[in-house]
Amino acid sequence: MVRYRRPGPECWDAVVTAACEETRHSWDAARALAQAGPAVSAHADRIARALDERRGRGDELACALAGLGDLRALPALRRLARDGHFPTHRMHVRVLAALPAAELLPAMRAVLRQDPPKYHASTSVLELLAQWGPASAPALPEVLPYLDGPYAYDALRVLGRTGPAAAGAADRLAGFATGRAPQARRHHPRLAAWAHWRATGDPALALAVCGAAVGSGSASHGLPFLADLGPLAAAHADTVRALVESPGAWTRVAAAHAYWRITGDPEPAVPVLLAEVDPEWTGLPALPRREAVRHLGEIGAPAAAAAPLLRRILAAEERLSHPYDSVRILADEAYVRTLTEALARIGASADGGPAAAPMPAPAPSPGLRRGVLVRWLGPRGARTR
């Protein structure tokens, strides 16, 4: 199951039996089952019954049902959250994001109100809220206090993903973006500036902070946010274009993507991204292989030269070998989805389908005040980190 990409249904039958009947292989089987997704849809009733009886490992069984979109996972997840056993691995949490936010938010808000916060529980819940995006808005009162502690980065991400509902936090976001908030650290400003844009609809602060980062030698930390800004970041296009030749793979990939997003010109981007696609990649996260595939898919038809290589990788029999067994199936399935979606977009665009387009900027909040950028950034040349 863990090694091969296309196991037969009889293999999953054995895994379900081992996980639900408390055999000596239950622990390993439950870890695989938590990652199975639609492959075990025929066994949903059996998994739900085992979960109700609290046999085996409840968090893995709940994840298995969540991966099917089965709402019978909800009572167990609420119970796990209350008892402090909520799934903590980020990849497992992303499976849970497919469930309705409204059904789980009360339990998640209770976890965030724990005093003192529990590290794994808090980071897991903040990751889940970020995945839910605007649907997480009711939890903002519980998220905002996390800006004052070691979880500030995760909280900033939630605020940005929530969007206009977080506009009330604009001043706090600006404090982190300019480095003036007492809790601000060197990795906060770009994310906070981006979150400020997503919350208020005003790109000025994000353009100033992320543009300064790209021009100051910390390029890879600002490029993804400039890419999200798209044509709004046109003033930085030349700087971004130069970084396509960077010696660092992450910077090259981020710059290629950002340049395409900003200008709509795929010509400099496609060769750089294609060079980072490796059929021998093992899943090592230190290399931007999956990101390169995703960006090629976003570009669409102009990236048609990548299609044969992407098909070859997709046809491989074995899964990515690097991730731990507890997340290897999830990591490989995520890569398979990225490959499949990239090929579909390249093919659809080549066949005359709709071309990929940058995400539109959010509309400004009604109460946006004139002149706030000067107040937040301070005098000309003020430090933005």
Average pLDDT over residues 139-159: 96
DSSP for 298-342, written as a single string = HH-GGGGGGHHHHHHHHT-SBPPSSS-HHHHHHHHHHHHHHHHHH
Instruction: Report residue 98 as tokens.
Output: 């497919």
- Give residue 366's identity as a one-letter amino acid code: P
CB 155 within 8 A of CB 164: no
- Give the position of tokens 């895994």: 15
DSSP for 66-90, written as a single string = HHTT-GGGHHHHHHHHHHT----SH
Residues recorded for the chain: 385
Residue 129 scores a pLDDT above 70: yes
Rg (CA), the chain: 22
The mean-pLDDT minimum among 118-127, 176-185, 215-224, 354-363 falls in 354-363
Residue 27 scores a pLDDT above 90: no
Residue 362 scores a pLDDT above 50: no
Confidence of residue 366 (pLDDT cuts 50, 70, 90): very low
Closest of 53, 103, 50 to residue 81, by C-alpha: 103
Residue 385 scores a pLDDT above 70: no
The mean-pLDDT minimum among 11-25, 49-63, 221-235 falls in 49-63
- Give the position of tokens 């529990």: 118
The mean-pLDDT minimum among 23-37, 172-186, 253-267 falls in 23-37
The mean-pLDDT minimum among 143-147, 290-294, 340-344, 370-374 falls in 370-374
pLDDT of residue 86: 80
Average pLDDT over residues 260-266: 98
270 or 97, greater pLDDT: 270
CB 83 within 8 A of CB 54: no
pLDDT of residue 384: 34
pLDDT of residue 352: 52
Proportion of the chain above pLDDT 90, given as a percent: 74
Q: What angle do CA 77, 79, 84 make, to 5 degrees?
A: 95
Burial string for 18-34 (b: 16+ CB within 10 Å, else e) reads bbbeeeeebebbbbbbb
232 or 376, greater pLDDT: 232
Cα–Cα dist 63/157, whole Å: 24
Residue 95 scores a pLDDT above 80: yes
Residue 355 scores a pLDDT above 70: no
Q: Any bridge partners for residue 318, and if so which?
A: 4
Cα–Cα dist 317/115, whole Å: 48
pLDDT in tens, 294-305: 999 999 999 999
pLDDT of residue 81: 87
pLDDT of residue 61: 92
Q: Report the phi/psi class of residue 365: left, alpha or beta, with left for phi > 0 and alpha for psi in -120 to 50.
A: beta
DSSP for 111-172, written as a single string = HHT-SSPPHHHHHHHHHHHHHHGGGGGGGHHHHGGGGGSTTHHHHHHHHHHHGGGGGGGHHH
pLDDT of residue 55: 55
pLDDT of residue 368: 40
Q: Give, as one character, the DSSP assignment of residue 187.
A: T
Burial string for 250-285 (b: 16+ CB within 10 Å, else e) reads bbbbbbbbbbbbbbeebebbbebbbebbeeebebee
CB 240 within 8 A of CB 232: no
pLDDT of residue 342: 98
Cα–Cα dist 58/140, whole Å: 29
Helix (H, G, I), strand (E, B) or coil at 380: coil
pLDDT in tens, 236-257: 999 999 999 999 999 999 999 9
- Give residue 272's identity as a one-letter amino acid code: V
pLDDT in tens, 185-220: 989 999 999 999 999 999 999 999 999 999 887 656
Q: Which value, to the nearest 10 degrees, does the dihedral of the CA atoms of residues 285, 287, 290, 294 take?
A: 130
Residue 101 scores a pLDDT above 60: yes
Q: Which value, to the nearest 10 degrees, does the dihedral of the CA atoms of residues 298, 303, 306, 311 take?
A: 50
Give Dmax (Cα) for the chain: 68
Burial string for 90-102 (b: 16+ CB within 10 Å, else e) reads ebbbebbbebebe
pLDDT of residue 381: 39
pLDDT of residue 2: 92
Helix (H, G, I), strand (E, B) or coil at 253: helix
Give the N- to C-terminal CA distance of the chain in Å, as an integer: 46
233 or 220, greater pLDDT: 233
81 or 48, greater pLDDT: 48
As a whole number, the mean pLDDT across the chain is 88
Q: Where exactly are the structural domains of the chain?
A: 1-83, 86-203+361-385, 265-357
